[in-house]
Amino acid sequence: MTEPILKIGSLELDSPVILAPMCGVCDVPYIKLMRRYDQESLAFHEMFSAVGLLNWGRRKDNAPAFRIPEEVKPLGLQLFGHDPDAMGKAARILADAGAAVIDLNLGCPVPKITKGCDGSALLKDTSLLREILKSMIRAVPERPVTIKMRLGWDDDHRNHVEVAKIAEDAGVAAITVHGRTRSQMYSGSADWEAIAEVVQAVSVPVIGNGDLYDPITAVNRLKESGCKGVMFGRGAQGNPWIISRTAHYFKTGELLPEPSDVERLQVALDHCKLLIAEKGEKTGVPECRKHVAWYTKGIHASAELRHRVNQTQTREALVEVITSCIETLSGSPALA
Ligand SMILES: Cc1cc2nc3c(=O)[nH]c(=O)nc-3n(C[C@H](O)[C@H](O)[C@H](O)COP(=O)(O)O)c2cc1C
């Protein structure tokens, strides 16, 4: 690599595009699929609880809480929690697991998380935030620590510039900004002007996030805001191609075609197989349903396919339903 396109501390990336952490979506099976198309962009795994990681460490069998398969790297791992000491220890566990970046969650809006002063609740307690960041950075001096924040708790408390400056001062290597407040949850639209205000206020790279669903919009947002990177969340659901297509468009100006309906279904099938292999039939089959719904949005007869998928209880039945749909669409036997 000559000049990296995005530099996050010591991590050099040849792509400005990042897969967002998303609970229930960005697990190892999904990221393995994304890596078929893109090996350069940073991907984030769904968040980890600091307390959960520390409790895991008390098990007698010494099994690691998480091990990153080589083929999904570079992988960023994200923590939520609020106790500085626990956050430092948990950051160390994630660094030892092979995280390329360790991120602090300052965005999660759900009451289960915020009532314990985790996630976006930390936007309201900037002195605690500073302590947490210092503890994490001290614990993993060799690895970049980053934050992923919202614009503030609500419209009356938009403190994105203040939070970003505190984080920069504490020593974070990059800042991701989701252009919504906590009280917006996912409603309204992301405020990219506010994201650009953070770009103006700090010298570390800023990664913009919110409402990106196609390569052209993403690259335009990147350029207009001055961000060094862009992050896809919901736009990557059922769409592991979006990261590579956007990175390619950024580098060449060429827009690669969308995958065909048959390719979408074939990848949905592979995704289901990977997910069930990883999590087992009982957990895996129900989890597959939402992924199939995302992959098949807009394709011919997708409502009927989704209905049939939702009735399945076993791997065999699920594979059979998707395979027969591929055969109907393509007119030839599927690679089951
Ligand atoms: C299902 C789901 C799960 C999410 N889980 C996380 C998470 O674990 N950590 C995090 O920082 N953000 C999480 N987010 C927020 C996304 O990373 C992202 O910031 C948000 O969806 C806005 O980006 P988008 O408009 O591209 O979706 C989640 C979002 C969704 C929809």
DSSP string, 168-185: HHHT-SEEEEESS-TTTT
Q: Is 218 among the domain residues?
A: yes
**Cβ contact 147:172 at 8 Å:** yes
5 touches ligand 1 (CB under 6 Å):
no
Q: Is 335 among the domain residues?
A: no
Asked if residue 314 and residue 268 are part of one domain, the reply reads yes
Q: Cα of 233 to ligand 1 centre, how many Å?
A: 5
* Residue identifier of the C-alpha nearest atom 14 of ligand 1: 22
Asked if residue 292 and residue 176 are part of one domain, the reply reads no
Pocket test for ligand 1, best of 17, 23, 44, 147 (most atoms within 8 A of CB): 23
188 touches ligand 1 (CB under 6 Å):
no
Q: Is 294 among the domain residues?
A: yes
Q: Which of 252, 287, 315 is the last residue of a domain?
A: 252
294 is written with which tokens?
């995302």
* Residue identifier of the C-alpha nearest atom 13 of ligand 1: 22
109 touches ligand 1 (CB under 6 Å):
no
Asked if residue 273 and residue 245 are part of one domain, the reply reads no
DSSP-based helix, strand, coil % in the chain, nearest 5: 50, 15, 35
* Residue identifier of the C-alpha nearest atom 21 of ligand 1: 233
Residue type, 189: S
DSSP string, 28-54: HHHHHHHHHH-SSSEEEPPPEEHHHHH
Q: Cα of 85 to ligand 1 centre, how many Å?
A: 26
Q: For residue 165, give its domain range.
A: 6-252
Instruction: Give the position, in ligand 1's atom list, of the atom nearest the Cα of 212.
Output: 26
Number of domains within the chain: 2
Asked if residue 146 and residue 79 are part of one domain, the reply reads yes
Asked if residue 49 and residue 154 are part of one domain, the reply reads yes
**Cβ contact 209:178 at 8 Å:** yes
pLDDT at 62: 75
**Cβ contact 15:40 at 8 Å:** yes
Q: Is 14 among the domain residues?
A: yes
Asked if residue 207 and residue 319 are part of one domain, the reply reads no
81 touches ligand 1 (CB under 6 Å):
no
Q: Is 141 among the domain residues?
A: yes
* Residue identifier of the C-alpha nearest atom 10 of ligand 1: 21
Q: Backbone phi, then psi, for 335, in 5-degree steps?
A: -85, 75
Q: Is 82 among the domain residues?
A: yes
| Number of CB atoms found within 10 A of residue 178's CB | 28
Q: Is 1 among the domain residues?
A: no
Radius of gyration of the chain (CA): 20
Asked if residue 209 and residue 281 are part of one domain, the reply reads no
For residue 270, what are the contacts with CB-CB under 8 A and spacing of at least 6?
33
211 touches ligand 1 (CB under 6 Å):
yes
pLDDT at 331: 81
Q: Which of 203, 233, 252 is the last residue of a domain?
A: 252
Three-class SS state of 67? coil
Q: Which of 252, 287, 313 is the last residue of a domain?
A: 252
Q: Could you tell me the CATH number of the domain that includes residue 299?
A: 1.10.1200.80
Q: Could you tell me the CATH number of the domain that includes residue 181?
A: 3.20.20.70
Asked if residue 267 and residue 169 are part of one domain, the reply reads no
Sequential pLDDT tens for the chain (336 residues):
579 999 999 999 999 999 999 999 999 999 999 999 999 999 999 999 999 999 987 777 777 888 899 999 999 999 999 999 999 999 999 999 999 999 999 999 999 999 999 999 999 999 999 999 999 999 999 999 999 999 999 999 999 999 999 999 999 999 999 999 999 999 999 999 999 999 999 999 999 999 999 999 999 999 999 999 999 999 999 999 999 999 999 999 999 999 999 999 999 999 999 999 999 999 999 999 999 999 999 888 889 999 999 999 999 999 999 999 999 988 866 655
105 touches ligand 1 (CB under 6 Å):
yes
Among candidate residues 23, 26, 108, 288, the one labeled active-site is 108
Asked if residue 235 and residue 153 are part of one domain, the reply reads yes
Asked if residue 73 and residue 27 are part of one domain, the reply reads yes
Nearest to 40 by CA among 267, 246, 275, 270: 246
Q: Is 109 among the domain residues?
A: yes
Q: Say whether 108 is catalytic.
A: yes
pLDDT at 240: 97
Asked if residue 178 and residue 90 are part of one domain, the reply reads yes
209 touches ligand 1 (CB under 6 Å):
yes
Q: Backbone phi, then psi, for 78, in 5-degree steps?
A: -115, 145
Three-class SS state of 81? coil
At which residue do the structure tokens 């339903």 appear? 321
Calpha distance 58→80 (Å, rounded): 19
Asked if residue 248 and residue 265 are part of one domain, the reply reads no
pLDDT at 57: 78
